[in-house]
């Protein structure tokens, strides 16, 4: 799923026909015309910005995104600037033998013994461009969830508070479904007389 898909669905939900009718959603790759359209259309840029805000909110508060990275500790430190992605929370750190090691998060770095490690951590997604893929593949988050959140943010920023409340409710309901634990449901045995 791409930002373009979320923005298109949000534009349909918001009934932004002037954006839908531009033909920008029929494009599959960046071109001068697409860039000119993105730069010239304030509402389209705002919807893209709202979509990025929703992506970050979902990743930070509801459906964490995880990344594994091999890192080296020098002088008992792994600097935050060494992480490939924007660190949200460390899940675990394993040494070269696959054993979890103790670590401490400090304001400027992660304190851990010297050596090579595999660090698993939750991250904050970077802002995505119009044709960029989002990081939520493999999760139950669908384009509708992000479009509802995008519509809610857009309405709130635009001062359409009643519409914002409606889209916020749909967004929260979709989040509830996406974060619901699914497992085997066991029904009680029936008795037959």
| 99-139 pLDDT tens trace | 999 999 999 999 999 999 999 999 999 999 999 999 888 88
CB 20 within 8 A of CB 149: no
CB 118 within 8 A of CB 82: no
Q: Across all residues in the chain, what is the average pLDDT?
A: 91
| 83 exposure class (CB count in 10 Å sphere: 0-12, 13-18, 19+) | middle
Q: Which two tokens stand for residue 171?
A: 């967004």
Q: What is the pLDDT of residue 184?
A: 61
> Three-state SS for 176?
helix
Closest to 77 measured CA to CA, from 118, 106, 120: 106
When pLDDT is averaged across residues 88-103 and rounded to a whole number, the result is 93
Q: Where are the beta strands (DSSP E) in 47-193?
A: 65-73, 77-79, 86-95, 104-105, 109-111, 115-124
When pLDDT is averaged across residues 150-164 and rounded to a whole number, the result is 95
What is the spatial distance between Cα 66 and Cα 64, in angstroms, rounded to a whole number?
A: 6
Closest to 85 measured CA to CA, from 67, 100, 71, 73: 67
Beta-bridged to residue 78, according to DSSP, are 110
32 pLDDT band (50/70/90 cuts)? confident
pLDDT at 33 over 90: no
What is the spatial distance between Cα 36 and Cα 97, in angstroms, rounded to a whole number?
A: 53
């Amino acid at each position: 799923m791409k930002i373009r898909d979320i923005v298109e669905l949000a534009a349909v939900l918001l009934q932004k026909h002037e954006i839908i009718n531009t033909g920008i959603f029929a494009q599959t790759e960046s071109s001068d015309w697409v860039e000119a359209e993105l730069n010239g259309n304030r509402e389209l840029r705002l919807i893209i910005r709202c979509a990025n805000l929703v992506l970050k909110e979902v990743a930070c508060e509801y459906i964490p995104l995880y990344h594994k990275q091999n890192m080296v500790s020098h002088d008992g430190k792994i600097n935050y600037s060494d992480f490939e992605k924007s660190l949200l929370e460390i899940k675990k750190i394993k040494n070269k033998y696959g054993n979890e090691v103790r670590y401490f998060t400090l304001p400027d770095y992660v304190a851990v013994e010297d050596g090579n490690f595999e660090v698993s951590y939750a991250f904050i997604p970077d802002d995505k461009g119009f044709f960029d893929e989002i990081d939520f593949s493999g999760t139950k988050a669908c384009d509708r969830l992000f479009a509802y959140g995008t519509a809610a943010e857009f309405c709130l920023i635009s001062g359409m508070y009643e519409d914002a409340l409606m889209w916020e409710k749909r967004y929260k309901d979709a989040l509830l479904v996406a974060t619901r634990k699914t497992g085997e449901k066991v029904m009680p045995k029936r008795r037959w007389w």
